[in-house]
Amino acid sequence: MCQKIKIISRVKHGELSLCEGCKNYNLTFNNLFFQFTKNQLLQFREYVSKIDVDYWLEYSFYTTQRKKIPVQTFHENLILVFDLFEINELKKLLGIHKESKNDLLAPEDIDYAVVLN
């Protein structure tokens, strides 16, 4: 187990970290965990940046599910699917879309119970 972990970026549902000992990048997102070398991370980042989100949202006729944006893997029988919020959050995590410091929090970004009296 790596002892020297440096967090590179973090979003509500995941984080990207670097093990300074073994030089592997760990990407945790929702219930997914990836371990990449630097080259593999750069390739994954490039692949995610080229996903045509608008195409999949408009022409995703193969499913009635909320998650319609596919991300293929090297395993032919494993395809990851994301919704628009998740794919945008993944892009932020990978540094593809930079968050503005003036962005307002959405209600789903507030991670505590709200009690309305």
Query: What is the rounded distance in angstroms from the CA atom of residue 17 to the CA atom of residue 24?
Result: 8
27 in a structural domain:
yes
Global confidence as pTM: 0.74
**pLDDT tens-digit map of 99-110:** 555 555 566 665
- Which of 32, 30, 11 is CA-nearest to residue 109? 11
Any idea what the CATH number is for the domain that residue 79 is in?
A: 2.30.31
The boundaries of the domain holding residue 16 are 5-97
116 in a structural domain:
no
pLDDT at 98 over 70: no
- Reported as a pLDDT band with limits 50, 70 and 90, residue 116 is low
The count of structural domains within the chain is 1
